[in-house]
Amino acid sequence: MATKTRKMRCCRCSGRVTPALYSLLLLEIILTVLVRGTTSQTTKSASDDGFALLRNRDGGLSLSGGSLQKERRNAGGEDFHSESVRPRTSHTTHRAGGGRGEPLETTRPFVVMDGRRMHLSKALQNGHPDKIQCGLQFEGQTYLLDLEKNQGLLPKTPNMYYYLPNGVGVNAEDRPVVNCYYHGSVRGFPDSGVALSTCSGLRGVITINSSLSLDIRPAEVERGGPEVEDLHLLYPTHRPGSPMGCGVSNDVEPPLHLSPHIHRSKRDILSETKYIELVLVVDHTEYVNYQMNNKTITYRMMDVANQVDWYYRPLNVRVALVGLEIWSDRDKVRVDKNPTETLQRFLEWRRRELLPRLRHDNAQLVMGGSFDGTTVGMASQSSMCSGDRSGGVNVDHLVSVLGIASTVAHELGHNLGMSHDTDERQCQCRNEPRLGGCIMEPSTGFMPGQLFSSCSVLDLSFSLLHGGGMCLFNVPQPSRLLGGPRCGNLYVEEGEECDCGLADECNDPCCDFSTCKLAPGAQCSSDGICCDNCKLRMAGSVCRESLGECDLPEFCTGASPHCPPNVFLQNGEPCDGGASYCSSGICSSVDTQCQALWGPNATQAPDVCFSTVNKLGNKFGNCGQLSNGSYMPCVPADVRCGRIQCQGGNSRPLLGSNTEILTTTVHFNHTNIVCRGASFDLGNDVSDPAMVAEGTACGLGKICMGHLCKDVSVLGVEACRRKCNGHGVCNSNSNCHCDVGWEPPDCKYSGNGGSMESGPAQEPRVSSPARVALLVIFLFILPVLLLFLALRLGWCRHRHAFQVSSFWHKGPGRQQSRTPATERGDTRNTEQLQPLRYHWPNQVDIPMTQPANKC
C-alpha cells in the first residue's frame, strides 16, 4: 500500500506541472508557425498578385503581328543606319502650310476670382496662380474652365542652352522661368480636358466632348495688327481636306500568340506611372522663324511639352521637359530635305554631345524648315532609353502649337513601340474622325489627333512587358521641379506625404488631394506599388518581377510606397546557356531571331552561310548601310553580326508581305547547304528585324556591338563580378545584386540579398516590431518561465520525499484503522497523533480501491 501511496502522490504532483509545460511548448510551436506563416503569406500574396495580372492579360491581350515585329526590334536594338533601303516615311504627315484656317468665333475670356468676374489681363498681371478658373463664350453658351498649374512639367533649374554669335554655348539655368502652363477640365463635362498656357493670353486646346474641340489663341498673333485687349480666336480642331498619307507599309500581319515567358511580367508594370525626361532641341531655322527671340521660342517649346504631357497622362506616362537647347548661332548638324539622314545625324550628335552633359531619356529636334514631300517627322521604332537611337525629328508646320505637339507625341509613340492605327487593326478611338482621330493614325487632315487609341495602349503595354522603356520607371528628383514643392503635380516633395494629382484625377482613398497629406490611419498612398490598403508592404516583397533571365526583380523596402528604380543585368552577362549575352535587359540569340522571322521551326544557318552571304555587301548580306544608301560588306571577323541567315521554318517571313527573300545554296564539304535571308521594306523609322541583334554571341567570348564582333571583356563584366565575392551578379549600374543571404554592396557578409538599388530580397530580421516582441518572448520570457517550472517540479518532488519519510517514521501500522485514537478512548499518545488526525486526510486522499491509470 505504501507503494501505491508514493505512486499516487507522484501522479498528483506531476499532474499539476505537465499540462502547463505542454501548453507552453504548444504555444511556442503555434507562435513559430504564425511568424513563419506571415512571411510565407507575404510571399504568396506577391505571387498571387502576379498570377492575377496574368489572368487579366490573358483575357484582354490580343495583338497583331505588328506587335511581334516590335518585340524583336526592341530586343535587337539595331542601329538606325541598318534599316531598309528605300527612303520612306513612317510618321504622321500633315497638311503643309500655315494651317490658319478661318476662326469659328471671337471671344474675350475672363477669370473668376473671389466670386467676381475679371478681365483676363488684369487677373494675371500679378502672376500665374496655382489654380485658376477661366470662362469663355462660344455659340451663345458660357464654358467654365477649372485649371491647375502643371507643376511637373519643368525642372526647378531648367537646362536652357543657347549659343552666342561666336559659337560659345551658354547655360541659362540661372535665369528664372515662369510656369504658366495648365491642365484642367470644362466644368459640367466629365469627359472634357484642357491643356493651355496663360503666358500671353490663352493658348492651347479645349476638348469639351468627343464631338467638340477648340483651339484658342490670342487675336493679335493671328492678325498682326494692333493689340485688342483680351480678344481671342476660337478655331475648330479639324478642317475638311484631303488627308495626307504615311509611307509606312500597312500590310496586315498574322496574329501573334504570346509565348509563355511573356506571362512572367513585372507586377503592375502597366499601372505604374512612367516618366519620360525629355529634351527639345530647336534648329536655327525655327529660331529665325520666331524673330530670333529666345523668350518666344522658350514659351512655344514649353507649350509643346505641356500638350505632349497632357496627351500621355491617360497612359500613366508623364513627360517632363528637363532641357531645352536652341541652336541660335547655327545648326550643329546638317539639316536638309532628307529625313533619314537628318535623323541619323541628329541621333549621332545627341549621343556624342548632348548625353554627356545632360542626362535624359529622349530628345526631339524641332525644325523650322521642311522635308521632301509631306513628311513632317521621323523617329526610330522601339528605341526609348537607347543611348544612340532614342529620339526623333519634327517639322513645326502649323501656327498652332497643336500641330508640332501632336507630331512630337506621334514620334515619341514610335520610340515607345507604338505602330500606326491602320484599318486592319480595328483600333478603337474615342475622338471622332472628323476631329482628327487619334495620334498614331497614318494620315490626318488639318488638325492632328489628340488621343491615343486602343491599339496604341496595347502597343505600349507589349513594349513594356518585353523590356522596352527600362529607364521610364525612375521617378525624377522632386528637387529639380520648377518653383519648389507644389501640391497636385503627382510628385511627392518636401512637406508632402502624398500627391495624387489634380482634383479631377485623384482617386486615392489614402491621400487628401487638397492638402497632399495622408488620410487618418494611412501609412502610405495607394499610387505606390509597395502600398496595400494604405499600409506599407513588408520589406522584401517583390514589387516588380523579373521579365527574363537578363532582368532583375525589385523589392519593397518597407519604408517607401514606391518600387525602387528598375535595373537589369549588366550588358555582357551570359544568357541562353552561354549562347548569347544580355543587352539592355534582353537576351536574344540567332535561333530566337530566326523563329521570329520564319516561325517556330526555324533555326540559324551554319557558319558558312554567314561567311558567304554577308561578305556580298548588298541588301541580302551586309554589316550595315551608309547614309548614301550603299551597304557595307562584312569583314571575316564580323560576318556573324550582319544579316541573319536561317534554315527551315515557313515559306515566307511572318513580318509583313512587302519582303524580298533570298535563298542561297552553298556547297561545303560535299554538301549543299541552303541559306535563307530576307530584306524588309518596313519604313525608315523601323529597325530592320533581319539584322543580328545587339548582344548576340558571335564567337567564344565575343559579342555583337554595332554589327561588329567585339570581345565581351570590353563591357567590364568580369571586373565587376570580382567585387561581388562570388555571391552575386552585376546590375546595369555596375553594382552587385547579391544572392539571398548576402549583404550588398559587396556580398561579403551575411544579409538579406538584393542590391542598393533593388531593395532587400528578403525581409530584414528586425524590421517588424511584432517580430522583435516575439523574439523577446522566445529568448527571455519563455526560458525564465521554463526555469521556474523546473525549480517548482524539483521542489515538489523534494517535499514529497520528505513527507513520505516522516510518515513511515511515525508508524505506518496505524493506517489499518480509520478511527482516530480519541474515539477509541486511547489518549496515551494524543499529542503525537494530532498531526495524523488533522493533517493526513487533507494531504493524501487515499481511496478504498486503487485508481486505474490516473496518471
* pLDDT at 804 > cutoff 60: no
Q: Are 625 and 573 in contact (CB under 8 A)?
A: no
Mean pLDDT of the chain: 74
Tell me how far apart the alpha carbons of residues 506 and 491 are, in angstroms, rounded to a whole number: 13
3-state SS assignment for residue 359: coil
Tell me how far apart the alpha carbons of residues 274 and 313 are, in angstroms, rounded to a whole number: 10
Q: Are 302 and 149 in contact (CB under 8 A)?
A: no
447, three cell numbers: 488638325
- Closest Cα partner for 642 from 675, 615, 608? 615
What is the tens place of the pLDDT at every residue in 639-693? Answer: 999 999 999 988 888 765 567 888 888 888 888 999 999 887 655 545 677 889 8
What is the tens place of the pLDDT at every residue in 116-155? Answer: 888 888 788 777 888 888 888 888 888 899 888 877 666 5
- Closest Cα partner for 399 from 206, 224, 195, 225? 224
Res 431: pLDDT: 76
Q: Which residues pair with 118 in a beta bridge?
A: 111
Tell me how far apart the alpha carbons of residues 594 and 509 are, in angstroms, rounded to a whole number: 49
pTM above 0.85, yes or no: no
Q: Which residue has the higher pLDDT, 578 or 76?
A: 578
3-state SS assignment for residue 439: coil
Q: What is the DSSP string of 70-129?
A: HHHHHHH---GGGS-SS----S-----S------SEEE--EEEETTEEEEHHHHTTT---
Count CB neighbours of 97 within 10 A: 11
Residues noted as catalytic: 411
What is the tens place of the pLDDT at every residue in 327-344? Answer: 999 999 999 999 988 998
**Rounded to 10 degrees, what is the CA torsion of 34, 39, 45, 51?**
-120
Average pLDDT over residues 186-195: 85
Q: What is the 3-state secondary structure (H, E, C) of 139-164?
A: CCEEEEEEEEECCCCCECCCEEEEEC
Q: Are 830 and 821 in contact (CB under 8 A)?
A: yes
- Pure H helices in 521-672: 590-598, 607-613
- Mean pLDDT lowest among 43-47, 116-120, 296-300, 398-402: 43-47
Q: Classify residue 19 by burial, with Cβ atoms within 10 Å: 0-12, 13-18, 19+.
A: exposed
Q: What is the DSSP string of 216-277?
A: EEEHHHHH-SS--TT-EEEEES----PPBPP-S-------BPPPGGGGSPPTTTTTS-EEEE
Q: Which residue has the higher pLDDT, 829 or 799?
A: 799
Structural domains in the chain, sorted by start: 70-85+93-170+179-251+271-473 (3.40.390.10), 574-738 (no CATH)
Q: Classify residue 304 by burial, with Cβ atoms within 10 Å: 0-12, 13-18, 19+.
A: buried
Q: What is the crossing angle of helices 65-76 and 454-465, to 10°?
A: 40
Binding-site positions for Zn(2+)? 410, 414, 420
Res 283: pLDDT: 96
Q: Are 216 and 206 in contact (CB under 8 A)?
A: yes
Residue 577 pLDDT level (bands cut at 50, 70, 90): confident
- Closest Cα partner for 95 from 384, 374, 380, 426? 374
- Closest Cα partner for 581 from 422, 729, 384? 729
Rg of the chain over all Cα atoms, to the nearest angstrom = 38
Residue 176 pLDDT level (bands cut at 50, 70, 90): low
What's the start-to-end Cα distance of the chain, in Å? 17
Res 382: pLDDT: 83
Q: Which residue has the higher pLDDT, 161 or 41?
A: 161
Q: Which residue has the higher pLDDT, 57 or 345?
A: 345
Tell me how far apart the alpha carbons of residues 700 and 715 are, in angstroms, rounded to a whole number: 15
Tell me how far apart the alpha carbons of residues 319 and 317 are, in angstroms, rounded to a whole number: 7
Tell me how far apart the alpha carbons of residues 802 and 796 are, in angstroms, rounded to a whole number: 10
* pLDDT at 170 > cutoff 50: yes
Q: Which residue has the higher pLDDT, 376 or 443?
A: 376
Res 254: pLDDT: 34
- Strands, DSSP E only, in 589-719? 603-604, 646-647, 659-668, 671-680, 697-699, 702-705, 708-711
* pLDDT at 820 > cutoff 60: no
Tell me how far apart the alpha carbons of residues 437 and 451 are, in angstroms, rounded to a whole number: 8
Q: Are 81 and 359 in contact (CB under 8 A)?
A: no
Average pLDDT over residues 840-848: 48
Out of 65-74, 444-453, 615-624, 813-822, give the one with best mean pLDDT: 615-624
Q: Classify residue 689 by burial, with Cβ atoms within 10 Å: 0-12, 13-18, 19+.
A: buried
Res 220: pLDDT: 64
Q: Half-sphere exposure (CA, 13 Å, Cβ side) for 20?
A: 13
Tell me how far apart the alpha carbons of residues 311 and 408 are, in angstroms, rounded to a whole number: 11
146, three cell numbers: 477649372
Residue 268 pLDDT level (bands cut at 50, 70, 90): low
Res 846: pLDDT: 47
- Mean pLDDT lowest among 374-378, 407-411, 566-570, 830-834: 830-834
Residue 416 pLDDT level (bands cut at 50, 70, 90): very high
Average pLDDT over residues 743-766: 83
* pLDDT at 174 > cutoff 80: no
* Phi, psi angle pair for 201, to nearest 5°: 75, -165
Average pLDDT over residues 357-376: 91
* pLDDT at 243 > cutoff 60: no
Residue type at position 434: R
Q: What's the DSSP call for residue 696?
A: B
Average pLDDT over residues 70-83: 33
Count CB neighbours of 87 within 10 A: 18
276, three cell numbers: 519620360
Task: Report CA-CA distances (Å) from 427 to 251, 395, 415, 463, 682.
Answer: 15, 27, 20, 17, 20
